[in-house]
Structure 1
Amino acid sequence: MLRLATTTLRASRLRHASTSSRPPLRGRRIALGSGLVLTTLLTSKIYADSAAITLSSTSKEEPRSQSPMGTLVRSYVVYTMCSMPALVDNAPWLLETLTSIPGVRWITEAIVRVTFFDQFVGGDTAEKTLPLLQRLRQNNTGTLFAHSVEVDEAEAMAAGSSSADRNPHREIVKEMIHCIDIAADFEQTVGAKETGRRTWVAVKITALLPDASALIRLSKHILTIRPPTTAPHVAFPGNPTVSDLDVIYAPSPAAGDLTPSDLSMLRTLHADLEAICTRAQERGVRVIIDAEYSWYQPALDALTLALMRRFNALDTGSTQPLVYATYQAYLRRTPAHLVHALRDAKRHGFALGVKLVRGAYHTHESAAHPDPTSSSTAKGKTLSISPDVLPPVWAVKRDTDATYDACASLLLDAVAADIQSAPPGSAPHVGVLFGTHNWASAEGILRGLEDRGLVVREKEKEGRLVVKEQLGERVTFGQLYGMCDDLTETLANRLDSNAPMVIKYIPYGALSEVMPYLSRRAIENKSVLGPDGGAAKRERDRAWGLIWNRLFGG
């Protein structure tokens, strides 16, 4: 077969020497086959959705939306594709294959740009996202910026120390600082005060150093040297301590697997994070440390705790909390870990910033955790570094849901207590970003705010909640850009506050750099986006219902 294909291809090249730029035969077949399969699947989905709308449109009121028709059509196409597990699983291979074929690459990139890129990415650069930021702010919605380019570790290491300034991770550090300036400048153009700024910046720590595996080795070292405690056991990754980073600054460290190069990289990383936070402090922009895999978490916890103790100190007089850590409800440790974090912040005089999410890497975390009955050789091949018998994540989604709602209630209690005890004009001691696409959780948080007297229901406008001024700097909701716009709009409309109480997480980056991020992100979130999770189907159904109503009324 291979010999026949090679012969055919050679003959084709001889016959069409003047058009040699055409893609190879196998590539054209892949492109044509992919297009036919995708067209067939989309057509079947459209037919099924048309039948469903025809049967149900008269009995159910469709949600309102200000989105243009083109945006609704794009959302429908994108979420239809997200509902196809086989397509999501093979997305990285398809993108790599199609973009490697001359003549097909530009078509592939054009399709990705007008579908997934425009749906989930704010723009190629921070500056190009500004019109989107302006539109969102007009709809009482803020922004969480995220430069979503990820470092190719092999490429970064090959660059060599002599060209450090041109290494990808060095450019990303510079971009983080630039992004903070863009966020602060935007807030100034809309006339936001120092309190009430809702353009924040997300930081992915693994992208800020040339070899992210150094963080894994630091995590292993931290687990090894942590002092024993008489406190109740906290599941992996446990709780950070103030001494976790001592190893990278020790004159003669007993560093285990950490190499001198690792220690140098980690010291530079810590300095870069401090530089990022210093600029954020100067410009009044909050910094959110993104969640990552559990094998990085002990190191990330140590770095984040060090940043919080310095930049969230209550005597600094700056925006507080400035630095937020991400707490993932699917981790078994999170309830106990959050209680510990609240107590530790109060004991040591710094504000605690919490971004509460469910978690996006469940499938990978479960697969990476070794079977307790497996051999030591098999265990050594996994990325997991957890010493626990059980995986770090809950086995079933209902446990994650219960943990999220319980942690949300705990945080609302902390916010209410902080407001009650805070002198007038004092900085918040706790700030929370509730990241959720779950309607039940969002409604539960709104009820919790009302039950604690933190919002007041307007009698004239059913469902509208007036936010007390002290709450505005302590509680925010967030959703990913391109997802759950109806939930975002509902929250923005229901909460009457001086500053936006809802923000959109908006990644940005050049298309060629963001495509791997988009394909990996789709796989990582398949459990949420796929038919079992229901989010993709719900988004698709919502878009189709709005399209139907625009075309035919309803």
Structure 2
Amino acid sequence: MNTLPKISFDNTANAFEYKSDKLLKKARFLFSCMKNNFLVKAGIALTPLAIKLRLPVKGLIRSTIFQQFVGGETLEQTKSVAETLGKYHVQVILDYGVEGGDDGEHGFDHATEEFLRVINYAATQKNIPFMSIKVTGLARFELLENINALMNKQRGDLLQCYEKALLQLSAEEKAEWQRVVERVQKISQAGYEKNVGVLVDAEDSWIQEPVDALTTKMMEKFNHKSVIIYNTLQMYRHDRLSFLEEALQMAVERKYVLGAKIVRGAYMEKERDRAEEMGYPSPIQPNKEATDRDYNAAVDLCIDNINNVALIVASHNEYSNLFVTEQLLLKGFELDHPHVHFSQLYGMSDNITFNLAKAGCSVSKYLPFGPIKDVVPYLMRRAEENSSLSGQTGRELSLIEKEIKRRAN
């Protein structure tokens, strides 16, 4: 008979066992800096400019925020990080951290080749079961925006609206979109052949529908014998729980397994500002309680339909992670069920990741890589996120301080 696990996210010995004293103290210094809003705002404003002007700041970035949140500048440099994590039964989701699109079709084709290179590399590493992609790295933003707007004018389910919208594109747009479809299919096919999961990141709400539709079509094609393609649902959107219910129903009807990566979300202020500016209802939940409620309802729905859904719990919320472990065992499933995986960003919430791993859960770190100049946007989001998340930096600091004191005794 299964019993509830004794998982404590306060166990710092497990959380930081993989970090040396030196790295732990560097992390303390970094998170201390992140508590200073003035420093964070100045860094966000000046770092991209300093990189653009080629000022000698890369060494400082590399030894501080880059080392904390990024796996390396090249794919090969991620190997040592992945191997270290693997010693503690923590897997890796590889993310090519370059946010492309500035170089047009050539840039999209280059990003496709990089994603394929990531898949081929991951297939040689037993500790890297997943990689992630952003469709905005493969498609022109304005094209996605146009298809999204056309889909909103149609009636029917997601795929019906998608097909109707495509008929209204110009000949040039149809040809352009076909190239996007071919890029995504090429990546999905490689993931299928190499048995590497492909996680499709969420985007802004006003371009999300074509991403949902394209990802759904890839799931229908590839998610049968194994689950390869995962869509990402941002639960701070008030419509995502109903979207999940519809996606699940479609998967059952069309006989494929739904891949669902459940997150809270990353674009809240941007979404609210745009809705206010353009005069439409905000897609964002009215408060955090509503987001938390829908998040837990979403993962509960997935567990109740575990044969038809492969779930990735991508969360830094301690309660949500414990809630999933409790629900699994209460409903008679093992913590390492093949359709349930947990994940946190590299450099954050080690207390969750490593204690879940210690309890026997399937868990990973989301590990970006890329040249410093290209991953600066990602790093600036991490800095901003840690300074603005209620209590996040304080929680990280208190756990690090606790472990430093424990080691000293």
TM-score w.r.t. structure 1 length? 0.68
1:227 aligns with 2:155: yes
After superposition, give the CA deviation of every residue in 1:65-105 in whole Å (9 maximum; x if it has no partner).
Answer: 31101221221122222223333334332113434567xx2
- Residue 374 of structure 2, aligned match among 490, 500, 513: 513
Superposed, which structure 2 residues align to 1:86-485 within 5 Å? 86-99=38-51, 105-106=55-56, 108-153=57-102, 156-157=103-104, 167-187=106-126, 198-209=128-139, 211-224=140-153, 226-227=154-155, 240-245=158-163, 247-248=165-166, 253-255=167-169, 259-312=170-223, 314=224, 317=225, 320-370=226-276, 379=278, 389-415=280-306, 418=307, 429-455=308-334, 467=335, 472-485=337-350
Question: Structure 1's 88 and 264: CA in aligned 2 closer, same or farther, altered over 3 A?
Answer: farther
After superposition, give the CA deviation of every residue in 1:32-55 in whole Å (9 maximum; x if it has no partner).
Answer: xxxxxxxxxxxxxxxxxxxxxxxx
Q: Distance in 2 between matches of 1:243 and 1:448?
A: 35
Q: Distance in 2 between matches of 1:361 and 1:541?
A: 27
Which residue does 1:31 correspond to in 2? none
After superposition, give the CA deviation of every residue in 1:241-291 in whole Å (9 maximum; x if it has no partner).
Answer: 24504544xxxx433xxx544332211010010000111111111111011
Shift of 1:409: 1.2
Question: Structure 1's 276 and 227: CA in aligned 2 closer, same or farther, altered over 3 A?
Answer: same
Which residue does 1:538 correspond to in 2? 395
Q: Distance in 2 between matches of 1:271 and 1:139?
A: 38
Which residue does 2:406 correspond to in 1? 549
Q: Distance in 1 between matches of 2:362 and 2:339?
A: 10
- Residue 504 of structure 1, aligned match among 357, 360, 365: 365
Shift of 1:328: 1.2
Question: Structure 1's 99 and 175: CA in aligned 2 closer, same or farther, altered over 3 A?
Answer: closer
Q: What one-letter code is carried by the residue in structure 1 that aligns with 2:406?
A: N
1:78 aligns with 2:7: no
Q: What one-letter code is carried by the residue in structure 1 that aligns with 2:355?
A: T
Q: Distance in 2 between matches of 1:521 and 1:152?
A: 21
The DSSP-based 3-state class of the residue aligned with 2:310 is: strand
The DSSP-based 3-state class of the residue aligned with 1:202 is: strand
After superposition, give the CA deviation of every residue in 1:128-170 in whole Å (9 maximum; x if it has no partner).
Answer: 10111111112111111110101253xx14xxxxxx5xx2222
Q: Distance in 1 between matches of 2:389 and 2:343?
A: 23
- Write out the 4+ residue segments of structure 1 that deviate beyond 6 Å after TM superposition: none
Question: Structure 1's 325 and 97: CA in aligned 2 closer, same or farther, altered over 3 A?
Answer: closer
Q: Distance in 1 between matches of 2:182 and 2:355?
A: 41
Shift of 1:401: 0.8
Task: Assess if the C-alpha contact under 8 Å between 2:238 and 2:283 holds in 1.
Answer: yes
- Bigger shift: 331-340 or 260-269? 260-269
Q: What one-letter code is carried by the residue in structure 2 that aligns with 1:536?
A: T
Which residue does 1:195 correspond to in 2? none
Q: What one-letter code is carried by the residue in structure 1 that aligns with 2:74?
A: T
After superposition, give the CA deviation of every residue in 1:210-257 in whole Å (9 maximum; x if it has no partner).
Answer: x22211111111112x216xxxxxxxxxx6224504544xxxx433xx
Which residue does 1:32 correspond to in 2? none
Q: Distance in 2 between matches of 1:139 and 1:434?
A: 19
Shift of 1:329: 1.0
Shift of 1:530: 2.8
Q: Distance in 1 between matches of 2:388 and 2:267?
A: 17
The DSSP-based 3-state class of the residue aligned with 2:124 is: helix
Shift of 1:111: 1.0
Q: Using CA pairs under 8 Å that are at least 6 residues apart, name the structure with larger relative contact order, 1 or 2.
A: 2
Question: Structure 1's 367 and 491: CA in aligned 2 closer, same or farther, altered over 3 A?
Answer: same
Q: Distance in 2 between matches of 1:541 and 1:514?
A: 28
Task: Assess if the C-alpha contact under 8 Å between 1:286 and 1:322 holds in 2.
Answer: yes
Q: Which runs of 5+ in 2 are unaligned?
A: 1-9
Shift of 1:547: 2.4
Task: Assess if the C-alpha contact under 8 Å between 2:93 and 2:364 holds in 1.
Answer: yes
Q: Which runs of 5+ in 1 are unaligned?
A: 1-60, 158-163, 191-197, 229-238, 371-377, 381-388, 419-428, 456-466
Q: Distance in 1 between matches of 2:149 and 2:46?
A: 36
Q: Distance in 1 between matches of 2:11 and 2:296?
A: 28
The number of aligned residues is 397
